[in-house]
Amino acid sequence: MRRADSAGLHTATGAYALHALPDNERGSFERHLVDCGACAQEVRELQATAVRLGLAATVRPAPEVRNRVVERIRHIRQEPPPVAQYRTHRLRRLPRFVLAAAIAVGVAGGVAFWQYREAGDALAGAEHAQAGVAEVSRVLTASDATYTSGRTKDGARTTVVVSRERDQAVLLASGLPALPKGKVYQLWFDDAGTMRDAGLLDGDTRTHTVLMHGPARAASGIGITVEPSGGSAAPTSAPLMLMELPA
Amino acid sequence: MPVPRPARPIAAAAEHGPSADALLVQVARGDQDAFGELYDLVSGAVFGTIRGVLRDPAQSEEVMQEVMIQVWRTAPRFQADKGSGMNWVLTLAHRRAVDRVRSEQATVDRDHKAALLDSTPAYDHVTEQVEARLERQQVRRCLRFLTQLQREAVTLAYYRGLTYREVAELLGVPLGTVKTRLRDGLIRLRDCMGVEA
């Protein structure tokens, strides 16, 4: 059964390389690509082949286009390079009661349930912090909650859960290295390239579950920097990690 | 049928590949002059790719601008180990052109499959038109080594921006067949052109 499914997906490499998969099928194929190295290699080769079809049709654009583009990029900020790979999990289709129930009974088994488990961990962390539990859990169980998670280079795991409807975000971090005295982790919302203060991670625990300060809806990403105690008005050091939020 | 392999690598890849990569590295650091050079290097292929899909010159110029601005914005995310710079830019260009075509279909005639069929010229005509425009002999030559169905499917998908489902409907062929033909057609082209990635 599984075999047949992945064989079916595998034949989609050509359609994928040609951008000929409808949106709903593209998502599942891209998830398949993550685990199928051979497919990813074939996609790269077939994409390079498709590109040759484009190269073959070379047409010079009007010179004014160049002037317009070159003028416009002078005012456009570039995106930061990726710090680490993050995956996004959209929970929109999960009924809220399922998630709530999963947390309540502490469901812990099965690959398909890992999101629930993570939410359960998060909730446990939140209870431990004894502050903003209700607020945090409302974001975690919001019907439009999206997860973006991954690891920073030094191995800390970070997950941000955003609810656009609630206009709030929760950051979960574990394994962040302890900081020297006088330093603190500070959170930022990325407003199209401008970093906006979103609060500090206090205490010296390695695990954090915090409601980020300020509205989350408009942010295109979040970042974490190390700042002097008390925090800064703007980042004074290179970010430990930057995560793009799903649009 | 044995597929002939090229005697030498195609000039385009050799000329464009490395320098687009090198320029992208500079562009990623915010170098605007390097961006100008990159533009000069890739714009013909980018515009050709977009216009192939969109047809309309004004609309193609619009998408061209969007693509080049996206290249500027996202250059820091370009990863040379995942493929050449030229491939990255052209894949992005094709994606944007296809998105534009589909969004227009969505607003105009998503509900009217018949309209899609009507507004799309007969496929043999499409193939002919595209081939007539192809400047590079090798692509034209290699396209000839595809079966008719492979060639029709690949050209409709790439040059017209159709989904494989639309291609299947247009050609009156089962979905699975079109999917397979797109794959084995591209594989045959890859082998004929000696593409590596």
pLDDT in tens, A89-123: 444 444 344 344 334 333 332 222 333 334 444 44
> In the prediction, which pLDDT does A245 show?
82
> In the prediction, which pLDDT does A185 show?
87
- Beta-ladder partners of A162: A146, A169
Cα B127–Cα B133–Cα B135 angle in degrees, nearest 5: 120
Q: DSSP 3-state assignment of A210?
A: strand
Residues B86 and B145 in one domain: no
CATH architecture group of domain A2-59: Orthogonal Bundle (1.10)
> Angle of helix A63-73 relative to helix B57-74, nearest 10 degrees?
30
Smallest CA–CA distance from B181 into chain A, residue: A14
**A130 lies within 8 A of chain B by CB:** no
- Residues B152-167: tens digit of each pLDDT: 999 999 988 899 999 9
Smallest CA–CA distance from B17 into chain A, residue: A48
**A154 lies within 8 A of chain B by CB:** no
Residues B96 and B152 in one domain: no
Query: Which tokens hold the place of A212?
Result: 């980020």
Fill in the amino acid letter for B56.
D
> In the prediction, which pLDDT does B30 show?
92
> In the prediction, which pLDDT does B110 show?
42
**What is the full DSSP assignment across A72-123?**
HHTT-PPPPPPSS-EEEEE-TTS-HHHHHHHHHHT---SGGGHHHHHHHHHH
Residues B29 and B92 in one domain: yes
* CB < 8 Å to B176, chain A: 11
Residues B195 and B131 in one domain: yes
Q: Which of A40-49, A160-169, B58-67 has the lowest mean pLDDT?
A: A160-169
> In the prediction, which pLDDT does A161 show?
84
Residue B153 belongs to domain with CATH number: 1.10.10.10
Count the Cβ atoms, other than its own, within 10 Å of residue B2.
6
A247 or A9: which leads in pLDDT: A9
For chain B, helix (H) and strand (E) counts, in that order, are 10, 0
- Beta-ladder partners of A171: A160, A210
Region B70-76: what's the mean pLDDT? Answer: 94
**Residue B176 clears pLDDT 50, i.e. is over it:** yes
Give the gap in angstroms from C-alpha B127 to the nearest C-alpha of chain A.
Answer: 12
Region A125-143: what's the mean pLDDT? Answer: 62
A168 or B106: which leads in pLDDT: A168
> In the prediction, which pLDDT does A1 show?
37
> In the prediction, which pLDDT does A181 show?
82
Residues B35 and B129 in one domain: no
Q: Which of A11-15, A227-231, B79-83, B119-123 has the lowest mean pLDDT?
A: B119-123
Region A158-166: what's the mean pLDDT? Answer: 84
Domain residues for the domain of B178 are 111-197
Average pLDDT value for chain B: 80
Sequence ranges of the domains in chain A: 2-59, 86-244
**Sheet with A207-211, edge to edge strand ranges:** A86-90, A146-151, A157-163, A168-174, A207-211
Residues B145 and B194 in one domain: yes
Query: Which tokens hold the place of A21?
Result: 């998969």
Q: How many residues does chain B have?
A: 197
A30 or A176: which leads in pLDDT: A30
Cα B103–Cα B93–Cα A194 angle in degrees, nearest 5: 85
Last residue in a domain, options B53, B84, B108: B108
B/e letters for A55-79, b = 16+ CB within 10 Å, e = fewer, are bbbbbebeeebbebbbeebeeeebb
Furthest C-alpha separation in chain B: 50
**Residue A170 clears pLDDT 90, i.e. is over it:** no
* Overall domain count for chain B: 2
CB spacing of A44 vs B83 below 8 angstroms: yes
- Residues A222-236: tens digit of each pLDDT: 888 888 888 888 888
**A79 lies within 8 A of chain B by CB:** yes
> In the prediction, which pLDDT does B188 show?
96
- Left if phi > 0, otherwise alpha if psi is -120 to 50, otherwise beta: which for A237? beta
**What is the full DSSP assignment across B44-111?**
HHHHHHHHHHH--HHHHHHHHHHHHHHHHHHGGG--GGGS-HHHHHHHHHHHHHHHHHHHHHHHHTTT
**Contact indicator for B27, B38 with CB cutoff of 8 Å:** yes
pLDDT > 70 in chain A, percent: 71
Region B169-183: what's the mean pLDDT? Answer: 95
Region B161-175: what's the mean pLDDT? Answer: 93
CB spacing of B134 vs A49 below 8 angstroms: no
Residues B122 and B75 in one domain: no
CB spacing of A54 vs B93 below 8 angstroms: yes
Region A9-22: what's the mean pLDDT? Answer: 93
Last residue in a domain, options B108, B133, B161: B108
Q: Give how far Cα B178 sits from Cα of A155, B117, B170, B174, Å.
A: 44, 17, 11, 7
Residues B9 and B81 in one domain: yes
Residue B47 belongs to domain with CATH number: 1.10.1740.10
- Residues B28-71: tens digit of each pLDDT: 999 999 999 999 999 988 998 898 888 888 999 999 999 999 99
> In the prediction, which pLDDT does A206 show?
66
CB spacing of B164 vs A69 below 8 angstroms: no
Q: DSSP 3-state assignment of A219?
A: coil
> In the prediction, which pLDDT does A204 show?
62
* CB < 8 Å to A21, chain B: 163-164
**A229 lies within 8 A of chain B by CB:** no
d(CA A238, CA A195): 12
Give the gap in angstroms from C-alpha B108 to the nearest C-alpha of chain A.
Answer: 17
**Contact indicator for B123, B172 with CB cutoff of 8 Å:** no
Residue with tokens 């191995």: A155
Backbone φ, ψ for residue A188 (5° rounding): -140, 145
Residue with tokens 């607003």: B107
* CB < 8 Å to B116, chain A: none
Cα A83–Cα A191–Cα A67 angle in degrees, nearest 5: 90
pTM tops 0.90, yes or no: no
> In the prediction, which pLDDT does A211 show?
84
Last residue in a domain, options B52, B86, B108: B108
Where does the pLDDT of residue B18 fall: very low under 50, low under 70, confident under 90, or very high at 90 and above? very low
**Residue A35 clears pLDDT 90, i.e. is over it:** no
Where does the pLDDT of residue A209 fall: very low under 50, low under 70, confident under 90, or very high at 90 and above? confident
- Among residues A163, A165, A138, A167, which one has the least CA distance to residue A148? A163
Average pLDDT value for chain A: 75
> Angle of helix A37-55 relative to helix B11-28, nearest 10 degrees?
110
Residues B15 and B62 in one domain: yes
